[in-house]
Amino acid sequence: MKFKFIAKDKVIQLPKTSGVYAFKKGVKLLYIGKAVNLRERVKSHFLWPHSMWEQTLLRQGFGGRVGFIKTNSEIEALILEANLIKKYQPKYNVVWRDDKNYFYVGVTKEDFPRVFWTHQTKVKSQNSKVKSIFVGPFVDGKALKQTLKVLRKIFPYRTCKALPKRPCLWHQLQRCPAPCLTKLKVAKEINLEKKLKKECKANAKNLMKILQGKRVRVLKNLRKEMKATSNSRNFEMAVKIRDQISALEKIMAHAKIFQPEVIVKFRRSPEFDDSWRGIEKDLKKILRIKNKISRIEAYDVSNIQGQEATGSMVTFINGLPDKNFYRKFKIGVAGKPNDIAMLKECLIRRIRHQEWPYPDLILIDGGIGQLNAAIKIKDSRLKIKDIKVTALAKKENKLYIEGKREPMLLKNLPREIFNLILQLRDEAHRFARAYHLKLRTKVLLEK
């Protein structure tokens, strides 16, 4: 597959399909990435806020060309991205990782191969004589793990380092052939070991070929095998292979494996101030307010069945997080989980701190119930009645806005606003969850 290149100022011509894209300057490829929507993803690289490597690229005056390759699915995009990064080793695919390693998938060379993912290709197993083969590098760890998860439904494989005495839950879920069954006394009588060796090796081989981008070859071989087993009147096996073919085609075409492509790292760039003024203007128009928007606070709560409940307040100033004004709350509401009551407690406790500068905008993690609760608390304080309140519902990313009857879908908003709102929500969620896990760990250690 070869990239088709267009000028940087013509990215609007990119297709809205999944695929792989690349930035090129002269004869060198500077960066390779994947996307669910090529047009929107490439456009986002040139919009505020920029990550560190994007700023470096823009400061160097990138005026090169943008290449793209369309794929039929997200999984194909993930695999193609890995193969192209390995082939071209673009400069900025190293920079953006912030010193983190890439991901690889390994398969041990054993009678019953073990499949695993790792950050390095020199992995020491419990048996030093066991060697492994690897496929990679993959950039997106979450997408890779999701891909392995869906492919395991078609080609079950072993993941345990040592075979257990009896089959585990993975076998019951039909995700592992269970080579541990060969330890049973009856295994020799029914020649089970030979059968499982063949199945384990075949599944691991097909999995690795798919991750190498050889899906067509795998399907071709499976069809040949299905025909051969059918001719030999082994109809049960033929049906099993037929189902594998059908599932593989469906998953490769429709599986959703990518996380929302949101830029989460912020650095001030030369064009930062102009960018924020434009975003603030759009935000004021969407919210129907005239007042200046500089300070935004986002809130979230975290708990498990109401236990060790925590709340968070994160603060963004002119679009950038300011951790000096982050606050966490250990919530006193006890009993059954009640997100609205917990949110109320957070807001009331925050409002009491008049020494903390009040925000121009509040974002709540939740739906209409959380929005109404926040508005009621806010309106009870004369000094802060002018603060606009919004709430973002997780399920469909609907943005509820004080004063508007119907919510707005986040995906329909300008990309800069989309990024900003998600960054606020996700940062509040991360901060609340981190504190919640800390409290849970403390309680468990005390028991």
Residues of the domain holding 404: 272-446
Tokens of 404: 């508007």
Encode pLDDT of 229-258 as tens digits. Answer: 888 888 888 888 888 888 888 777 766 656
Spatial contact of 144 and 117, defined as CB atoms under 8 Å apart: yes
Q: What is the mean pLDDT of the chain?
A: 81
Q: Which long-range contacts (CB under 8 A, 24 or more apart) does 417-423 make?
A: 417/279, 417/282, 417/283, 417/286, 419/44, 419/47, 419/49, 419/262, 419/263, 420/49, 420/279, 420/283, 420/316, 420/319, 421/363, 421/392, 422/260, 422/262, 422/397, 423/262, 423/263, 423/264, 423/316, 423/321
Spatial contact of 389 and 418, defined as CB atoms under 8 Å apart: no
Does the pLDDT of residue 63 top 80, yes or no? no
Domain stop point among 67, 95, 123: 95
Number of domains in the chain: 3
Region of poorest pLDDT, from 53-67, 106-120, 184-198 = 53-67
Region of poorest pLDDT, from 51-55, 84-88, 210-214 = 51-55
Shared-domain flag, residues 207 and 282: no
Cα distances from 3 to residues 11, 17, 24, 68, in angstroms, run 14, 15, 10, 5
Domain stop point among 95, 117, 135: 95
Read off the pTM. Answer: 0.51
Please check whether residue 278 lies inside any domain of the structure.
Answer: yes
Q: Mean pLDDT highest for which of 23-27, 181-185, 251-255? A: 23-27
Shared-domain flag, residues 339 and 378: yes
Q: Which helix (H) or strand (E) holds 446?
A: helix 415-446
Shared-domain flag, residues 356 and 305: yes
Shared-domain flag, residues 10 and 54: yes
In angstroms, the first-to-last Cα distance of the chain is: 58
Shared-domain flag, residues 75 and 113: no
CATH number at residue 417: 3.30.420.340
Encode pLDDT of 120-177 as tens digits. Answer: 776 544 445 778 888 888 877 788 888 888 888 888 988 888 887 778 878 878 888 8
Please check whether residue 266 lies inside any domain of the structure.
Answer: no
Domain stop point among 213, 235, 261: 213
Give the per-residue pLDDT at 62.
57
Dihedral (CA of 271, 273, 278, 283) sign: positive
Shared-domain flag, residues 282 and 429: yes
Give the per-residue pLDDT at 306.
54
Spatial contact of 133 and 206, defined as CB atoms under 8 Å apart: no
Kindly report the CA angle at 301 between 296 and 306, in degrees rounded to 5? 165
Shared-domain flag, residues 112 and 78: no
| Separation of alpha carbons 352 and 349, rounded Å | 5
Shared-domain flag, residues 193 and 67: no
**Burial category of 363 from C-beta neighbours within 10 Å (exposed 0-12, middle 13-18, buried 19 and up):** buried
Shared-domain flag, residues 420 and 298: yes
Shared-domain flag, residues 311 and 439: yes
Spatial contact of 365 and 391, defined as CB atoms under 8 Å apart: yes
CATH number at residue 10: 3.40.1440.10
| Separation of alpha carbons 378 and 207, rounded Å | 55
CA torsion 151-154-158-160 (nearest 10°) is: 50
Spatial contact of 125 and 108, defined as CB atoms under 8 Å apart: yes
Please check whether residue 305 lies inside any domain of the structure.
Answer: yes
Shared-domain flag, residues 87 and 120: no
Shared-domain flag, residues 82 and 194: no
Spatial contact of 163 and 130, defined as CB atoms under 8 Å apart: no
Encode pLDDT of 342-398 as tens digits. Answer: 899 999 999 988 888 899 999 999 999 999 999 999 888 767 888 999 999 987 889
